[in-house]
Structure 1
Amino acid sequence: MCWGTLGTVRPFANFHSDLDAMEIQKALEMKDAGTLVRILTNRTNTQRQEIAKAFEEMTHKDLAAALKKALSGELEVLLLELLMPPLQYEAYRLQQAMVGIGTDEETLLEILCTHSGMELQEISVAYKEIYKKDLDKELKGETSGDFYKLLVALLNKDEVPGGVRRDIEALSATLNVKKAEAGPWIDILTSRDSDHLNKVLMGLELDIGQMVDQALEKKFSGDIRLGLKVLVECIQSPECYLAKRLTATKTPILQGIMVSHSEEDLLCIRTAYLKLTGTSLYTALQKQFKGDHLQALLAICRSED
């Protein structure tokens, strides 16, 4: 993506990968974190890949490995994340959400609900190349039941035509029984385009006389309730969902959202954050972080609202 879209990171004018690589080499020798931050946060991912290539040709060393050696802590993690190509980065975030004890269900949902079917196919390919495992099988090992069915349906999104009224009636019917079925929700919400689904959700709210998320809260429980509620939020306003996620979240998740969306729609997320909290994201970052790590996050955020 480039400037003129809704991203905050734009192509650096008068870009020369070899000059950047030379400056980075000197900064690594001097352990000058400020220079590393200035360069790597002010280049697009495509430009960063060119810098990494130029650095390797110049030094016969891997830039990511050199950063690991020179840095530590949260700044090291953030700059390494900025170096990952977008598809690899999303695959990495999915893997991190499943690795170790426990599963970060909401990060899985965030990624699967905010990418298109085509993007998710490419992320699945990247996941297989990096981790030598099928993403859908990994999801099956971490989740179960209706929640697993929802994640796999999201992973394999494929738009099929449907009638708005028919879809409204199908979803409404699940709410009029004692034990609601998740199947129709999964089938419909993962197989229609966003305009269609927004009409369905608005029509459903008129039919049932309450907000969809309130109905889901009453009728479902556990992971499937979380999954359907996040999916509905992302259909209605992905930027509002992501802004809300930024308000009460841990550093890895905040960084994940900012890096993932820096060249796509971080401006929209910033606007939603301001509306939601009354504080700009730029100001909020200054209250939570410090030092070179803060400067890197501010550079990605780009400016005050």
Structure 2
Amino acid sequence: MDDYKGTIQACTEFDKVKDSLILHKAMQGIGTDEKAIIDILAHRSNAQRQQLRAYYVTAFGRDLIGHFQSKLSGNFRRTVRALMDRPVEYYARCLYEATKGLGTDEEALVEILCTKTNQEIKEIKAQYKKDYLCDLKADIVGDTSGDFRRLLVSMCSAGREEGTEVDVDQAKVDAQEIFKASEARWGTDEAVFNRILATRSYAQLRAMFEEYSKISDKGIEGAITSETSGDLRDGFLSLVKSVRDPCSFFAGRLHKSMKGLGTNDQMLIRCVVSRAEIDLVEIKEMFLTQYGMTLGDYIKDDTSGAYRDLLLIIVEGEN
């Protein structure tokens, strides 16, 4: 497809039998042929990887993901697992891991729930229930609190208006409501932000952002930054940025995962893998524009070994 913006292409000469034999051989005996694994997984679409999963268990009597898990380690194993999951499985697992154990990965919750369509959220919730035998909304309620919890519950309800029609008068009313609930008063009524940001269609929100810029020098992002804080601020900002420009949002997420000391590998893996068959080409271009350095060079400086090799091939879209 001429308008395809992903970096991973479906292999035109895909042969699940041949690929399965190569993968099986790569994991036989002591040690693992990581290059062979990378050469196949980074050059197959997710749909083709699902065919490999199905054939592998028939041919060799063991689950391919389980075999990878037993032979690989660290961030390379995490990236391979992310590639082998169906997208809905991966999102459900990221959300489960974000709420289980010690602490909460608020950034994963925000990144997934605040950027998905109603249908995607419904599918993720169903997969979550199937895989973990528990309810996503209940787990979110049990692991978060306050206004941030209310935002995530709103997102999880999958009730956003959809469509491309724009009511300019309503956009003006919404902009005024947010202004009166924040900049025009002492204190902030977060419930007004939540109601409008969580219910309006993306097209309607973009119109509201434009109207807000006419009545406030700060703009909607500036208002959120000055009037809210912590996880709630990150949630509102993520929602606004992803609605306004998804590629810019994910470029920012990738930069955040690697800037400063240390690397947020889970965020890095999640952004690279989840966007590889959607818009990673445009995200790379936006990354270069915003940060003056290629995404590939950032990854080279911040990662190592087979993990780095796999990420770079995904990002660069090498055939």
What TM-score, normalized by structure 1, do the two folds share?
Answer: 0.94
Question: Which amino acid in structure 2 is aligned with residue 196 of structure 1?
Answer: Q
Give the distance between the partners of 2:25 and 2:122, measured in 1 at CA. 39
Give the distance between the partners of 1:98 and 1:248, measured in 2 at CA. 21
Instruction: Identify the residue that residue 108 of structure 1 maps to in structure 2.
Output: 109
The Cα offsets for residues 244-266 of structure 1, whole Å up to 9 and x where unpaired, read as 12113111110011111111111
Q: Does 1:22 align with 2:21?
A: yes
Q: Which stretches in structure 1 are left out of the alignment for 5+ residues?
A: none
Trace 1:195-206 onto structure 2 (pairs within 5 A): 195-206=203-214
Moved more, 195-204 or 282-291: 282-291
Give the distance between the partners of 2:189 and 2:309, measured in 1 at CA. 48
Moved more, 259-268 or 69-78: 69-78
8 Å Cα contact 1:78-1:255 kept in structure 2 = yes
The Cα offsets for residues 190-248 of structure 1, whole Å up to 9 and x where unpaired, read as 22222221110121121022222222222223332222122222222222121112113
Residue 127 to residue 232, structure 1, CA distance change in 2 (3 Å): same
In structure 2, which of residues 277, 288, 311 is the aligned counterpart of residue 297 of structure 1? 311
CA drift at 1:53: 1.2
Instruction: Identify the residue that residue 138 of structure 2 maps to in structure 1.
Output: 137
The Cα offsets for residues 138-197 of structure 1, whole Å up to 9 and x where unpaired, read as 100111121111111112233448621221122122121212111121111122222221
Instruction: Identify the residue that residue 146 of structure 1 maps to in structure 2.
Output: 147
Q: Does 1:280 align with 2:280?
A: no
CA drift at 1:303: 4.7
Trace 1:1-305 onto structure 2 (pairs within 5 A): 4-29=3-28, 31-160=32-161, 163-175=170-182, 176-249=184-257, 250-303=264-317
Instruction: Identify the residue that residue 260 of structure 2 maps to in structure 1.
Output: none
Give the distance between the partners of 1:284 and 1:224, measured in 2 at CA. 29
SS at match of 1:178: coil
Give the distance between the partners of 1:293 and 1:196, measured in 2 at CA. 41
How many residues align? The count is 303
Identity of aligned residues (%): 28
8 Å Cα contact 1:157-1:191 kept in structure 2 = no
CA drift at 1:113: 1.6
Give the distance between the partners of 1:224 and 1:291, measured in 2 at CA. 36
Deviation >4 Å, runs of 4+: none
8 Å Cα contact 1:157-1:190 kept in structure 2 = no
Give the distance between the partners of 1:229 and 1:68, measured in 2 at CA. 36
SS at match of 2:11: coil
8 Å Cα contact 1:40-1:82 kept in structure 2 = yes
Give the distance between the partners of 2:298 and 2:278, measured in 1 at CA. 21
Give the distance between the partners of 1:67 and 1:190, measured in 2 at CA. 39
Moved more, 115-124 or 210-219: 210-219
What TM-score, normalized by structure 2, do the two folds share?
Answer: 0.90
8 Å Cα contact 2:287-2:295 kept in structure 1 = yes
Residue 258 to residue 3, structure 1, CA distance change in 2 (3 Å): farther
Give the distance between the partners of 2:316 and 2:199, measured in 1 at CA. 35
The Cα offsets for residues 113-156 of structure 1, whole Å up to 9 and x where unpaired, read as 21111101100110111111110001001111211111111122
Q: Which stretches in structure 2 are left out of the alignment for 5+ residues?
A: 258-263
